[in-house]
Amino acid sequence: MSTSGQDRPFADGFMDDYFAEADEHMVAVRRSLMALESALGSTLPSAALEDLFRSFHSLKGISAMVELREAELLAHHMESCLRAVRQGTLTLTTANFEVLVDGVRMLEHVIASRRTSTPQPLVDEVVEKLDALGRSGVEAHRPAALTATDASNEPSQPGARARLLRVTFVPSPQLVERGVKVDTVRARLMQIGEVRNVTPTVLPGGGISFEFVVETSDASPLAQWKDDGLTYGPLDAAAAVELRGAEEADAATSQERRLTELTLTGSSNVVRVDLARLDELMRLVGEMVVTRSRLEDTLRRVEAHVPFQEWRALQDHSARLERNLRDLREGVMRVRLVPVGEIFRRMPFVVRDLARDNGKRVKLELTGHSTEIDKFLVERMMDPVLHIVRNAISHGIETPEQRIAAGKPADGIIRLGAATAGETVIIEIADDGRGIDIASVAQRARTLGLVVPDDGGLESRALLDIICASGFSTRDHADRVSGRGVGMAVVRDTVEGLGGILAVESKPGHGTTFRLTLPLTLAITDAIISHVGDQIFAVPQTAVREVVEVDENLLHAFERNELMPYRGGTLPMVRLSEMFSISAVKRPRYHAIVVGTGQTALGLIVDRIAGQREVVVKTITDPLIRVDGVSGATELGDGRVVLILDVAALSRARRQHARVITGVSA
């Protein structure tokens, strides 16, 4: 790939847009491929074929614009193959479908390499195979007179008898109940011809209607759908000319694609925004909140000097401003939320490949993919979820033979679900496989020198502690799929590092469920403000179980540990002043913030609690100030930095400390 020095920066300016758009198309490609694969050998869903064709066409176009030749070439050949399939000259089989899948994988690789500025992979072999596939269709079926036509031209012109029809569909709850939705209608229309355009229109009463422009030579099936909210008639000449004219400029295709996508997602306006701009907005809102709290401080000070009436009015305005700001902040926060579906979309592909490589048969069930979560979290949840799914396939799900022998259906099931619960989002990954073998986990843990309760019965939290211990794996050898047992440790660290909780439940013979509970957003959080010596710390409310008063006389010290009686049991205590080397005055009574549950519960000893408030979280990224136990920074109105404690890291440090001690005594 070579370009003149002048063009390069020009193209580079578009690269971010290119990657964003290419990602969207690749998502659509994967979706369509999955739909096609499940229909191999029977009638292929024309909607998926159409979508796939368009996606390749668009990818070809945008790749050409940024001069990513490898991607352009791959997309071009796959487009040609799809054209042959659409025209019925090529039949997709399991064998040649793999060629397409390889092509898509290579295309992903090419785009990824460009993104990371790493050397491009060699595409020749894949391109050759695709080319051969595309040709096989054309040569076998194309009439001799037409062979000279360039294969890259647009699809064949429709027959002379094809007519353009305007089909209007008005959805209603009754229709939806009967299963007739806009995509049903669209699929039906695609069976009788080609959908050239879709326009959603908002009706005066608040409803919505969709107007399809369909090109068909046989409109008779339309009559039988009359009861499904469809009306139709010939498209008037002017509109038809306009449509064709637009299509020549190749604009209609992309326009239609966009419109169809929009009608399918049910929104009419979508704007793509750079996350950095949202962060900037959030920062500005945060500053306004700080300014307002200064305003309130000032108000309080002048109360004595201002006539009551006036002061009252000021107070009202300030209170209203606070409400407005809260709404604004909530609004900006909501904009950052994206559907967790982003994590799920890649999964069918991953599951399919892994199942094949492992000789397993797996069905994937997805639920709640429209559940929304902060963009920042979505990106970081991708790898942990992927890892757990991989584990489920390689360790959890049995081979078909084993399953049948155990009286289970041959196909294993992995359920991937997401749901919102208050201010948290729960992601669940469940398999119906063999479950975690408690005995072998305990055995393996003992040989690694980990502490295992003697009765052999591992409660789920202890089980999690063991499978998340670094270096732990029930397999003696590392396999390609699940690696070397460092994975679950990283998964737990990631989830906890983001203020979430990882939990596992396993029933021998019935399967394993991992549950990731995450905060909806990290940008704003309720925090407990506490003082240690002359320093102030914020502790995120989500991690706090309760605040208790501590009586020095009730603390039991041994070696470097301190325990406090707590709810009929004991609670290990950590003095923040010691952990952070802050000189604090010894007091007879102080407060402790209880964080975590069960085995990981911990009391953080502070001097006093100043209250609870909503804080805007700023992440700490600079290596100079990234220290264990601190997750971010905020300010409380005076412009000074207040550190936000990373409770998960604090209790992790504590766990490691504890392990060292038990290791010595064992």
Partner 1 sequence: MSETSVAAPEAAAAVQSYILFGVAGTTYAIRSQQVLHIEMIDHVTPVPNAPVFVEGVVFSRGQVVPVINLRARFGFERAAITLRSRLLVVQQEGRRVGLLADESREFIRISETAIRPPQEAIGGLSGNYLEGVATLGERIVLVLSVRELVETVPNALS
| Site residues for partner 1 per CB under 8 A | 283, 286-287, 535, 579-582, 618-622, 624-625, 627-630, 632-633, 635, 639-643
- Residue 529 CB, nearest distance to partner 1 (Å)? 14
Phi and psi (nearest 5°) for 221?
-60, -20
* E-assigned strand segments in 226-283: 230-234
- Residue closer to partner 1 (CB basis): 419 or 625: 625
- Residue 636 CB, nearest distance to partner 1 (Å)? 11
- Residue closer to partner 1 (CB basis): 270 or 624: 624
- Residue 623 CB, nearest distance to partner 1 (Å)? 8
- Residue 629 CB, nearest distance to partner 1 (Å)? 7
- Residue closer to partner 1 (CB basis): 6 or 583: 583
C-alpha–C-alpha distance, residues 631 and 539, integer Å? 10
Burial of 554 (0-12, 13-18, 19+ CB in 10 A): exposed
> Pick from 371, 416, 374: which is nearest to 393 by CA?
416
- Residue closer to partner 1 (CB basis): 187 or 630: 630
138, 84 in Cβ contact below 8 A? yes
* E-assigned strand segments in 479-583: 501-507, 511-519, 524-532, 535-540, 544-551, 556-558, 561-566, 569-575
- Residue closer to partner 1 (CB basis): 339 or 533: 533
- Residue closer to partner 1 (CB basis): 16 or 316: 16
- Residue 563 CB, nearest distance to partner 1 (Å)? 24
CA quadruple 457, 463, 469, 471: dihedral sign: positive
C-alpha–C-alpha distance, residues 188 and 205, integer Å? 27
- Residue 576 CB, nearest distance to partner 1 (Å)? 9
- Residue closer to partner 1 (CB basis): 287 or 546: 287
- Residue closer to partner 1 (CB basis): 226 or 626: 626
**In the numeric block, which tokens belong to residue 662?**
């038990």
301 to 178, 304, 311, 315: CA distances (angstroms) = 66, 7, 11, 12
196, 210 in Cβ contact below 8 A? no
- Residue 467 CB, nearest distance to partner 1 (Å)? 29
- Residue 580 CB, nearest distance to partner 1 (Å)? 3
- Per 3-state DSSP, the chain is made up of helix, strand and coil in percentages (nearest 5) of 50, 20, 30
Residue 259 contacts by C-beta under 8 Å, 6 or more apart in sequence? 197, 198, 199, 200
C-alpha–C-alpha distance, residues 234 and 240, integer Å? 10
Sequential DSSP letters for 129-150: HHHHHHHHHHHHHS-GGGTTS-
C-alpha–C-alpha distance, residues 540 and 631, integer Å? 10
- Residue closer to partner 1 (CB basis): 16 or 628: 628
- Residue 267 CB, nearest distance to partner 1 (Å)? 32
CA quadruple 463, 468, 470, 476: dihedral sign: positive
- Residue 486 CB, nearest distance to partner 1 (Å)? 25
Report how far Cα 362 is from the mean position of its chain's Cα atoms. Answer: 22
- Residue closer to partner 1 (CB basis): 513 or 530: 530
- Residue closer to partner 1 (CB basis): 375 or 618: 618
- Residue closer to partner 1 (CB basis): 282 or 343: 282
- Residue 447 CB, nearest distance to partner 1 (Å)? 34
> Pick from 134, 70, 72: which is nearest to 100 by CA?
134
> Pick from 156, 163, 154: which is nearest to 192 by CA?
163
Give strand pairing partners of 606: 591
- Residue 38 CB, nearest distance to partner 1 (Å)? 45
